[in-house]
Amino acid sequence: MESQPLLRGSSARSKLPSWTLFLAVCAVGIGGTFQYGYNVSIINAPTQHIHRFLNETWTNRYHKALNPDLLTFLWSVIASVFSLGGMCGALVGGSMAIRLGRELLGEEMYWPLLLSSSCLPAFAQLLFLPWFPESPRYLLIDRGDELSCVKALKRFHGSSEYEREMEDIQRESFALDGEKAKKPWQLFTDRAVRWQLITVIVMTMGQQLSGINAIYFYATYVFEQAGISAEHIPYVTLGTGACECLTALTCGLLIDYVGRRYLIIGGYLLMTFWSIVLTFSLTYQELYPWVPYVSMTSIFAFILSFGLGPGGITNTLIAELFIQSSRAAAYMIGGTISWISFFTIGMLFPFIVNRLKQYCFLVFLLECSSVAAFLFFVIPETKNKSFLAIEKEFHKLNFGRNKKETELYERRQLHDGF
């Protein structure tokens, strides 16, 4: 299912989503973002047990102690290797969606079960998704099946509320004029989507390299310094996950009131600020008794900022920056870049922490501030705008003062208006 801008007029009354739409979003979330967050979160819980398992296995097999740097490397591989599977899924997912449609424990003795438990939400998604209708945009634009598109819209929005969405999809279909879905490599040579593509690459890399993994890595240490007992730390760590879930829900409520641009830029700026605070508080952690509490507050604040900004907005913006013919390819590129970035930071992060200690947040500070500056100068507000209107916003960036290209674009816009 695809994210769509909400085209509500000032006279339109707000309305809760239909049960079909609500349940479909839940089913997609269970197998998508929930799977991602779940795998990222649970890998930190059995860290000590996995370290012990690696040490004991190495000693039993080779009769010597495991080198600390090699242990760090092996742990990095374990923590990040699932991202390679995610990258494979991103590479084939877009093409499959076009061809087939969109229906697609932390104790020592239990940690293998914990890491394998992610198959349960995947099974739940496979079980429930076939009961929902196809994506309306896919049905009309990719397959040309208007009747099925109307039926799907009625199920998602109700018989009395679907017309506005139908008109928007018809306008986009007319503008595309039968244009076929593009391949990922075609986007790299298409000047009409140059800055949209650059924006997607910057956002997906920025999301993974923002320092959120460093926050979870340092969480246990900070909680210990704050005086929280060892048996209670897992529950406090669980609170950080609950905090991220809360911000995801809050972001969903704010996104159409505040706007995508303000939330994502504001999120990166807040993360920049809390990176500065964390660097100082971790440096002087033992100087004053109240400093550990500043670090603990900063961790929760950083997670809140991530959830309200890049964590909740990035995927929505990827969907809104492209029209239907380019969207699947854009998701494939964005997904691939995201997983490569995740794998890279997963491999390098333990070594960065070992060398830089708390000063690793200076690296993330620079990254977050750079992404915020880029988005401030490049990305337009997409709230309450159609895909075609957003495409027009990028026209000046993509073509600049090229008179010939501008005339062709304006002629196309005039043609679309009729």
DSSP string of 135-194, one letter each residue: PHHIIIIIT--HHHHHHHHHHHH-TTT-HHHHHHHHHHHHHHTTPPPPPHHHHTT-GGGH
What pLDDT is attached to residue 111? 56
Cα separations (Å) of 226 from 64, 97, 230, 231, 391?
Answer: 37, 48, 11, 14, 50
Backbone angles phi, psi at 182, to 5 degrees: -90, 155
For tokens 């922490």, what's the residue?
353
Work out the burial of residue 364: count CB atoms within 10 Å of its CB; fewer than 13 is exposed, 13-18 middle, 19 or more buried: buried
What pLDDT is attached to residue 265? 95
**Number of Cα atoms under 13 Å in the Cβ half of residue 389:** 12
Question: Are the beta carbons of 21 and 157 closer than 8 angstroms?
Answer: yes
pTM: 0.71
Contacts 24+ apart (CB under 8 A), 117-123: 117/42, 118/35, 118/38, 118/39, 118/42, 121/30, 121/31, 121/34, 121/35, 121/38, 122/31, 122/35
**Number of Cα atoms under 13 Å in the Cβ half of residue 418:** 5
Of 205, 155, 410, 236, give the one whose Cα is nearest residue 314.
Answer: 205
Q: What is the DSSP letter of 7?
A: -
Q: What is the pLDDT along the chain (418 residues), one digit of tens a residue?
A: 444 444 434 334 445 567 777 777 666 666 555 555 555 555 555 667 777 888 888 888 888 888 888 887 787 777 666 656 555 655 555 555 555 554 574 455 665 666 666 677 677 777 777 778 888 888 888 888 889 888 888 888 887 778 888 888 888 888 777 777 788 899 999 988 999 999 999 999 998 888 887 677 667 766 776 666 777 777 777 777 777 777 777 777 788 788 899 999 999 999 999 999 989 988 888 888 888 888 888 888 998 898 888 888 888 888 889 888 888 889 889 888 888 888 888 778 777 877 887 888 888 899 999 999 999 999 999 888 888 888 888 888 888 766 555 555 555 554 544 4
CA 247, 249, 253: angle at the middle one, nearest 5? 110
Question: Are the beta carbons of 312 and 251 closer than 8 angstroms?
Answer: yes
The span from the CA of 261 to the CA of 272, in Å, is 17
Q: Residues near 129 by Cβ (< 8 Å), separated by ≥ 6?
A: 24, 27, 28, 31, 103, 104
Q: In this structure, what token pair is assigned to residue 292? A: 């550990």
Backbone angles phi, psi at 103, to 5 degrees: -80, 90
The span from the CA of 336 to the CA of 269, in Å, is 26
Give the other-Cβ count within 10 Å of 277's Cβ.
Answer: 16
Give the distance, in angstroms, between the CA of residue 23 and the centroid of all CA atoms in the same chain. 20
The span from the CA of 21 to the CA of 255, in Å, is 18
